[in-house]
Amino acid sequence: FQICGESQNNVDATESWIKNLILKEQFENTISDELIENFGERQIEALADLQRRKHVTIQLENKLSPPCIKISGISRDVCFVSVEVQKMIQKMKYAEEERSKAELVYNLVEWRYLGSNDTFVAFDKLTNMQLEDAKIAKKPHLTVRINEKNYKVDLTTLQANDDQGKTINIQRVPKNEDKQLIELPVQWEDMREERVKLVNLKTSCQEYVEVQDRFKRTCASFVIEKVKSY
């Protein structure tokens, strides 16, 4: 834009005043999280969309330790984008926790459906966990995907029906029935029929100390907020 005035001094003063206003509105925020390193195409596209819509500058520094995202622009836009980025990270954390839980459940029990060649086929691990969770919660039914179609599983009869009346038999196979019972560590909590339990480790317990020692070998300047164990 152009600034016109009665004298060069007036023009310079106005230009300086405008620059100061702009600088006062400028803000920068840095978000650091290990999961930023795992940002894929979908997350990067979302960042680009936020940058276009909110007229901010977003720098993805995924090679740093820890990786970070720097957001700069007008303060209200930076705050909005920062919240959206945190939501993306939380969503990734939730998905990662779900995958870990699903893996643990799969080591305990396997749910299967009868395939087209009369052999049972294992569900994917997330569906496997959802079926087991539904059984533990004593839910009567759960809708799952089988061969790209929705089926309603009756958890009592172990049969799945689609909206056209087709029925598929379901099978639940525990993996630890024949294993010898072992003595569990005394500090472990009773899971009370839960398949997966997330536990915050105390700073005094051996598992915490081991994680802390390994962490400090490469990240001595960082502070551990908490250590979780499944």
**Residue 70: its pLDDT value, please?**
94
What CATH number should be reported for the domain whose range is 25-102?
3.30.1370
Amino acid letter for position 230: Y
Query: For 115-220, where are the E strands, in sequence order?
Result: 120-122, 141-146, 149-154, 159-161, 167-174, 199-200
Specify the pLDDT at position 74.
87
> For the chain, how big is the Rg over CA atoms in Å?
27
What the block records as the tokens of 221 is 């300047």
Output the pLDDT for position 180: 46
pLDDT of the residue at 8: 78
The domains of the chain are located at 25-102, 107-174, 199-229
Q: Do 227 and 215 contact (CB within 8 A), yes or no?
A: no
pLDDT for 165 equals 87
User: What is the assigned CATH class of domain 107-174?
Assistant: alpha beta
Q: Are 51 and 73 in contact (CB under 8 A)?
A: no
Q: List the chain pLDDT tens, one digit each, 230 residues.
A: 676 767 777 767 777 766 666 666 778 899 998 889 889 999 999 999 999 999 899 999 888 888 899 999 888 899 999 999 999 999 999 998 899 999 999 988 999 999 888 899 999 999 999 999 999 999 999 999 998 999 999 999 999 999 998 999 999 999 865 554 455 566 667 776 666 677 777 787 777 788 888 877 777 777 777 766 65
